[in-house]
């Protein structure tokens, strides 16, 4: 079973699949210190992933339109973009209503 963010698994490595990085650059905007764009290839990589909050890495990976960002965690290998899509639920996405005491809790995925 793949890792899930709510389990808070330790991230061991972050990989950007170069063949499907299409330069949307969401990763650079969401987790600025983690990702870097190679000016020669136009592809992103994650040399600074240890310097940022892991929650930002999950969010960057979920928001990568092509699913190019993969996380290696202590619980397994996961592509958050497709993990979330696979478990997509109208009742659990961040825009769905919540009780007031949970209204400000950060979104942690649907898987």
For other proteins, what does the binding mask look like between residues 34 and 73, x meaning CB under 8 A?
Answer: -------------------------x---x-xxx------
Stretch that binds other proteins, among 8-16, 44-52, 70-78, 103-111 (CB under 8 A): 103-111
User: What is the number of alpha carbons within 13 Å of residue 64 lying toward its C-beta?
Assistant: 31
Does 98 interact with other proteins (rule: CB under 8 A)?
yes
CB 44, CB 60: distance < 8 Å: no
Does 97 interact with other proteins (rule: CB under 8 A)?
yes
Q: For residue 4, give every residue at least 6 positions away whose Cβ sits within 8 Å of its Cβ, in sequence order, or none.
A: 75, 78, 83, 109, 111
Site for other proteins, rule CB under 8 A: 20, 22-26, 29-30, 59, 63, 65-67, 85, 88, 90-91, 93-100, 103-104, 107
């Amino acid at each position: 079973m793949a890792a899930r963010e709510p389990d808070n698994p330790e991230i061991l490595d972050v990989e950007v699949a170069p063949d499907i990085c299409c330069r949307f650059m969401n990763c650079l905007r969401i987790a600025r210190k983690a990702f870097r764009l190679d000016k020669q290839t136009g592809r992103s990589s994650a040399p600074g992933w240890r310097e940022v909050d892991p929650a930002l890495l999950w969010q960057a990976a979920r928001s990568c339109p092509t699913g190019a960002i993969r996380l290696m965690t202590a619980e397994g290998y996961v592509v958050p973009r497709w993990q979330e899509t696979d478990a997509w639920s109208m009742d659990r996405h961040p825009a769905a209503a919540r009780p007031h005491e949970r209204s400000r809790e950060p979104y942690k995925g649907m898987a």
